[in-house]
Structures are given as C-alpha cells and as structure tokens.
Amino acid sequence: MFPAPPYREHLSLMLSEVLDDIGVNERMVNKRRRVHHLRENMGKIALRLIDKDLVEIHYIGSVVEGTTTLGLHSDNDILYCVHDINVIQDHSEWELGKINYLMIQDENTTPGYCFLQLFQSDKPIPATEIPDKHFITDRKGRILYKNTLIKDMLEDADHLDGPSIATKGQYGDLDRDRVFAYPCKSWPQLASSWLERQGKGGWPSEKLRRNAASTCCSVVATGSKVSKYPELEWRISTTLAERCLMLHLNMTQLRCNVLMKMILKSFLNPQKEKYMSSYICKTVLLHCIENTELSIWKENNLLTCLIYCLKELHSCVQNDCCLHFIISENNLMAGHFTPEIKQVLLKNISDFIQSDIQCLFRIDIDDLGCRLQVKLNKVPKRAYNFLSSLEIHERLSLNDCGTLALHISAWHDTFLKHLQNKDIKTLQQVAENFLTLSMFGTEITLDSCKLLAPFLFTTYGSAMASSYIGGNKLLSQKAMAWLSFGLNSDVSSSRLKMASLFYSVGDMEEAEQILRQVEQQYHSNPLLTVCDCWLKPKPAATTEFARACYEQGENCTIKQMMSFCVKFIQKEINCVPHELQYEMFRSTQDDMIHRDPNYDLWMDWAVIDSLPFLYFLQYKIYGRLQRQQEQQQALNNLIETTVTDKILGHRETVLNILGQCMEQENRPQLALESYLLSLQQRRRNNVAIIHICRLLSGILVNQQNGSGQDTQVD
C-alpha cells in the first residue's frame, strides 16, 4: 500500500468516530447480525417441522453483513435454495427422486456461467424429451433449461434485477430482493483454485476458506451481459461463501465498505442510476484485503485504506476488469458500461481521490459530511440538526426488533396454514417436536425456538381444549399445560386466548384475573402492536420503546413490550366467543375469488387486535358477573379504541364485534352504523354483510309483529 501523509491518522480517527455514531460499530453490527440469524434459524426450524424443508431461506447482503446504515436504505436480500433440484458436475452425482441438471461449461458459455442439461428422473442419463416451454434442444441434441422461468414468478409489484425479483418496499419497509437458487452437489471446479490461494497478509486463512467452501454453492437464473446465449446461461453463485467472508471482517474493513457505498451512491451513481453496483465495491474491497497486510486495516488508517480501495476501483474501471473474488474467471465488469459512462466514472473516482477528504464533506447520507465537519471543529454542532448517536442506535434497534417480530408472526401463520386442516394428533406431534428443539440445539437454535415456540404451544393447547369442550368433557391438565407453556409469547395474545378459554367454559373469575394482568401491562409499559396479516403503515413507537430495543435483548423486548394480534384457527372454535366465531366464515364463494391464495389464508380464522379483544372480553365477562358499571367502562374503552387507534390491523373485525355489542345494548341503529363502517374498511371477505342482513331481518320481523319497539337481535 502507498505511504500515507501523517495528518490522515487524525482524520481517520474522526471519520471512524462518525461511523461509530451512525451505527457502524461492533455492538450495533453484532446486534443486527444476531437479529437476522434469528430470522434465518426460525425459518429453518419452521420449514423442517412442517416437512417443507426442500426450500432453505438465507438472508444475505448488507443488512446481515452489517455494512449498511439508516441513510443507505439497503435492500433486504433473501436467497431461496431449492433443494429438490440437484445441479451436478458429473454423472456420479445424480440423485434419484430429484430433478437433476448437469452443469455444462464449454466454448459457448461465459466464464463463471454454465448451461444446465436436463437428465432423466429414473436413471443418470440425459433426457430426450422437452418437458415444457422452459426447455430447448440445442444443436448437439442436449435439452437445456432456460433461465427465463423467473419471469413467470413475477407479481404486479415486482421487476427483474439480474437474477433477483425486486419488490419495492411500502410503508417504510426496505425494498426486497429475492433470489431463487439451485444448489450444486459439490463445489464447482471453477472455484476450486480459490481454496489454495494465499493472500499477502494471510487472509482469508485456510480455516476461513474451508468454512466458506462448506457453504452451499448454487446457480441462479441470469446470463452474462456479453453472452451469445443470454437466455440459456446460469450464473454460478458463491453468495453464502462471500457472506461467510464478510462476517469475518474487522470494523475498519466494514467501515471502508460502508464509505465506498456512500461514495457510490453520492458521486458514482447519482440520480439513482446504476452504472456500478455495490457488489463490485465489495469485491474490490475483498481483493484489497487479500493483497495487503492485515496490520494495515486499523482505525487510525481508515482514510488511507479507503483511498487505496478507490484507486483499485479506478484501475478496474480503466481496464474494464473486476474479477470475481472466488471465481476469478468471471469478469464482473464485462459489458457493464459504455465507453461514455466509463469516462464519467473514471473522472468521478479520480476527483474524489484527489480531493483527499474534501469530497467526504459533501456526502449527505446519514449527514456524514456535516458530522465530520463538527468532529473536526470546522463548524459548531448547533449549526446542524442531526440525530444523536443514541437516537440512531435506537432507531436501528427498533427497526430490527420490529422486523424480527413480524417474522415471528409470519412463521406463526405458516404453522397455522399447515395445521389448520390437520388432525389434532398432527398438531401434537409438531408441538412436541418443537418442545424437543426448545431444549436441545445450538444457542441460536434455542433462542429462535424461545421466540417462536410459545405461539404454537398456545394454538395446540387451545385446539386440544376446544376438542374437549366440543365433546362436553372436562378440560385436561395436558391442554392447560400446553397453554401455560405458551403464556409468555408476548404481552397479550396468548394470555387473551387463555382468558377466552376460561370465558367459554364459564370460569369468569379466572378469565377476569388474566384480563386484569394484561390491562396492567398496557398501562405500565410502552407497547408496540404487531400484525403481519396485510400490508399497512407501521405503528409509531415511543422513545421509551426504541430505547428498550437498544438496551435489552430481543427476547425480552418481544415478550415484555410487544402485543401481537390474536389468531384462532377453526380447531379452536369452542374457545372463541360466538361473536368472534362469525369471522371464521367471512367469505362467500364469490368472495374467495378476490382472495390472494398465498397471503389471505388468515381470513379462514378469527383474528383480532389484542387491545380491542381485551375490552370486548371484559365487556362480556363483566356482563356475566353483573358488574354493570365496569361493563359499560369496558364498552366505552372498546369504542374509544375503535375510533382513535388509526393502525388497527383488523378494524373491520373490531367494528363487527362492536356492532354486536351495540345489539346486546339494544341499540340497533349504532350496530348498523358499525357494520356499515366495517364494510367501508373491507368490501369483500367481510362477515359484516351477514350481520347487516341478520339485523335488518330481526328489525323487520319485530315491525311485522307490531312490536313498535327496538328489540335486541341476538
């Protein structure tokens, strides 16, 4: 590496402090990585327990690596490895029971890419018949798999970005890139030479290289920009190996990567143009680390390391060549930009290098330039109004905790969808398997189970109790034990299911005691509501809640400060008040046409937000206990929540519940207004239409009978 002027040491330390302030520090990086490892492990556990582990989900990219900030708005990258596909390098790797493709690399394929030749399903020989439109026979008679199948997977909000299905984030969510990959049976020959390559500073070590190579290598559906057959080529991907390498970088190396991304976004790719990718910047960084002594990469040398990386990037652009870090035959810049764009990039990179630090002052992302000027005492802090380091760390922690909570809810839904039509023995088997996993396994597996298992335990216990109630039997201790196992899933949802059960069997005192405990939690802690049933604005979190996310562990935050919506599948119907049971039958045959088969299965369940369900249960229980004043207070609380809570996940259900309460109060006009408001929220797949017909029918019958008075319709 070239010699650095002495003044750069002070500048590097100040720049490191700025990056520390905006969340690129050891504590925040480790905290964020842990959240995404929990997400990944929950997916593995859930899919394994419901026998759908032919797809393995991996979270990749900047968010997991810890090389992003609030201002960079990095995508949420997800890799789906499809394990019923087997990509082989020779006939000996063929597997019965899988779809086998032979990896072909010849004079017609671009380095780093391959063709996939289909093999027969019953014997390790090439197929001779074309299965469908996604295959083609080449001049040599080989049946090759086209990469264009990915286009059939696009939905309305999606677009293709290389092998990724890119979806724009809504309501504050990150943009999402999904990559579907077919795993290779063995490490590709093209990548094998990397295993023996030794860096100047000993990085990556032999152990790290072996660990990286133990990850799954795959092929993804995209061809080279310079390919003669772009629809037939599949890119050989070592994404998981690269993730392994990135997770072993030190903080200076990670900060250097973050700065390169900021420079890329601010100067090299302005106006959201994609002349160059952050992946190329990461690859340049890895090459730079490999080709230097590790002692160079330290905090007081950050600026010199950054300039070194930019010079290497300039050299890559100049030579139209940036070699893939692991598959060195693959030139990432081949056909990547025009000569005109190349000259623009060279000038911009040169200008930045020559300015030394001056261009850093012009980076607006995360107020980096302003923060650096304050650190260097060039301007007073009062001249700028940017977030404090604590506020940034709290926001990052809040975002990650919220993401984790939504994933818990989504995987809970996955269990419910799988189990809703299964018999009670299947529910028992899954719950018992989960209980075993909760006691044995790696630390990350145990922690993942602790977050997800209670929701499943509660569902199983409630379903078991429902079967006993339906058979006019006494509740078993076993059902109550499973409900108790799940009692601490979060602040409210499992406890409310327990209270609903006690209400259903007539134990009002026990139900009222549980509700009192839940209500106390709502009053004593800042809570965040969680519902993933449909896309909507995220609830605003208090400063106290954000601080708790930063200071506490994820398990503690979710169990003590988050309130999930309450979900009952039909197997739990006897544990559900009859007013809520209607929600399980919300859809007519015509309504079903207007449901998304992937995302709307919850519409076959009874689902309601925790807080209004709390007040509704109080209204019913206090009525049974003949405590009229408390019953009316509960009704008033239910009305106020319905009116003032702007982010109820299931407002139409709450309005339907409120309408039935109004009927029981002998106020049919208000009941009708509630049902009509419910229909405004959701025109289809809404049981409000049944309530309206039932209510009007009752009123009409009363009028025909000459009652002349409003009569409760029950």
Each domain of the chain, given as residue ranges in start order, spans 1-24+249-386, 577-608+630-714
pLDDT exceeds 50 at position 713: no
Q: Using CA atoms, how far apart are residues 668 and 439, in angstroms rounded to an integer?
A: 53
At residue 712 the predicted structure's pLDDT band, cuts being 50, 70 and 90, is very low
Residues 6+ apart with CB under 8 A from 366: 22, 69, 70, 71, 72, 262, 392
* For range 323-337, the mean pLDDT: 92
Q: Using CA atoms, how far apart are residues 366 and 635, in angstroms rounded to an integer?
A: 46
Q: What is the largest CA-CA distance in the chain?
A: 100
Question: Tokens in use for 648?
Answer: 């109820």
CA dihedral 598, 600, 605, 609 (to 10 degrees): 120
Per-residue pLDDT at 699:
83
Helix/strand/coil for 192: helix
603-634, pLDDT tens digit by residue? 999 999 999 999 999 999 999 999 999 999 99
Question: Tokens in use for 391?
Answer: 């506020």
Higher pLDDT, residue 601 or 24: 24
Q: Name the percent of the chain lying above pLDDT 70.
A: 96
Per-residue pLDDT at 170:
56
Q: Using CA atoms, how far apart are residues 120 and 400, in angstroms rounded to an integer?
A: 45
Q: Which contiguous run of DSSP H or E holds residue 616?
A: helix 610-624
244-294, pLDDT tens digit by residue? 999 999 999 999 999 999 999 999 886 667 788 999 999 999 999 999 999
Per-residue pLDDT at 384:
81
Q: Using CA atoms, how far apart are residues 188 and 236, in angstroms rounded to an integer?
A: 8
CA dihedral 298, 299, 304, 305 (to 10 degrees): 50
Count, residues in the chain: 714
pLDDT exceeds 50 at position 714: no
Q: Using CA atoms, how far apart are residues 696 and 685, in angstroms rounded to an integer?
A: 20
Q: Using CA atoms, how far apart are residues 612 and 391, in angstroms rounded to an integer?
A: 32
Q: Any idea what the Cα angle at residue 486 is, between residues 484 and 488, rounded to 5°?
A: 95
Q: Using CA atoms, how far apart are residues 209 and 216, in angstroms rounded to an integer?
A: 13
> Helical H runs in 471-595?
477-485, 493-504, 508-524, 543-551, 554-561, 578-581, 589-593
Q: Using CA atoms, how far apart are residues 135 and 130, in angstroms rounded to an integer?
A: 6
Other beta carbons within 10 Å of 699:
17
193-232, pLDDT tens digit by residue? 898 888 888 899 999 999 999 998 999 999 999 999 999 9
Sequence-separated contacts (24+) of 201-210 with Cβ below 8 Å: 201/289, 201/290, 201/292, 201/293, 201/294, 201/295, 201/296, 202/294, 203/289, 203/290, 203/294, 204/245, 204/248, 204/290, 208/244, 208/245, 208/248
Q: Using CA atoms, how far apart are residues 212 and 205, in angstroms rounded to an integer?
A: 11
- Of 407, 420, 408, nearest in space to 606 by CA: 420
Q: Using CA atoms, how far apart are residues 28 and 37, in angstroms rounded to an integer?
A: 14
Work out whether strand 606-608 and strand 566-568 pair parallel, antiparallel, or are unpaired: antiparallel
At residue 439 the predicted structure's pLDDT band, cuts being 50, 70 and 90, is confident
pLDDT exceeds 80 at position 408: yes
CA distances from 675 to 74, 636, 642, 699, 714 (A): 42, 18, 13, 15, 15
Q: Kindly report the backbone phi and psi dihedral angles of residue 16, in degrees, each rounded to the nearest multiple of 5, phi listed first.
A: -65, -40
* For range 526-548, the mean pLDDT: 85
Other beta carbons within 10 Å of 701:
12
Whether 11 and 360 have beta carbons less than 8 Å apart is answered as no
CA distances from 415 to 358, 434, 558 (A): 54, 11, 19
> Helical H runs in 420-488?
424-439, 443-470, 477-485
Task: Tell me, rounded to whole angstroms, the distance of Cα 407 from its chain centroid.
Answer: 6
Sequence-separated contacts (24+) of 126-133 with Cβ below 8 Å: 126/102
Whether 508 and 502 have beta carbons less than 8 Å apart is answered as yes
- Of 440, 432, 436, nearest in space to 478 by CA: 432
* For range 646-652, the mean pLDDT: 91
Q: Kindly report the backbone phi and psi dihedral angles of residue 57, in degrees, each rounded to the nearest multiple of 5, phi listed first.
A: -105, 130
Find the range with the poorest average confidence among 169-173, 258-262, 652-656: 169-173
Higher pLDDT, residue 518 or 3: 518
Q: Kindly report the backbone phi and psi dihedral angles of residue 610, in degrees, each rounded to the nearest multiple of 5, phi listed first.
A: -60, -50
60-103, pLDDT tens digit by residue? 999 899 999 999 988 888 999 998 899 999 999 999 989 999 99
One-letter amino acid at 562 equals: M
* For range 367-384, the mean pLDDT: 87
Question: Tokens in use for 367?
Answer: 């107020």
Per-residue pLDDT at 152:
73
The residue behind tokens 């061809």 is: 223
* For range 550-556, the mean pLDDT: 89
The residue behind tokens 């209670």 is: 454
Q: Using CA atoms, how far apart are residues 502 and 496, in angstroms rounded to an integer?
A: 10
- Of 72, 69, 42, 67, nearest in space to 56 by CA: 42
At residue 6 the predicted structure's pLDDT band, cuts being 50, 70 and 90, is confident
The residue behind tokens 């200076």 is: 252
Please tell me the number of Cα atoms within 13 Å of 680 on its side-chain side. 7
CA distances from 658 to 506, 619, 653, 687, 710 (A): 22, 10, 9, 13, 18
Global pTM value: 0.90
Other beta carbons within 10 Å of 693:
11
484-499, pLDDT tens digit by residue? 999 999 999 999 999 9
Q: Among the CATH numbers 1.10.3720.10, 3.40.50.300, 1.20.1090.10, 1.10.1410.40, which is that of 1-24+249-386?
A: 1.10.1410.40
pLDDT exceeds 90 at position 381: no
pLDDT exceeds 60 at position 2: no
Query: How high is the mean pLDDT of the chain?
Result: 91
One-letter amino acid at 311 equals: K
Per-residue pLDDT at 41:
93
Q: Using CA atoms, how far apart are residues 679 and 327, in angstroms rounded to an integer?
A: 57
Beta partners for 529? 563
- Of 280, 283, 278, nearest in space to 266 by CA: 278
CA distances from 47 to 430, 610, 658 (A): 11, 27, 38
44-54, pLDDT tens digit by residue? 999 988 888 78
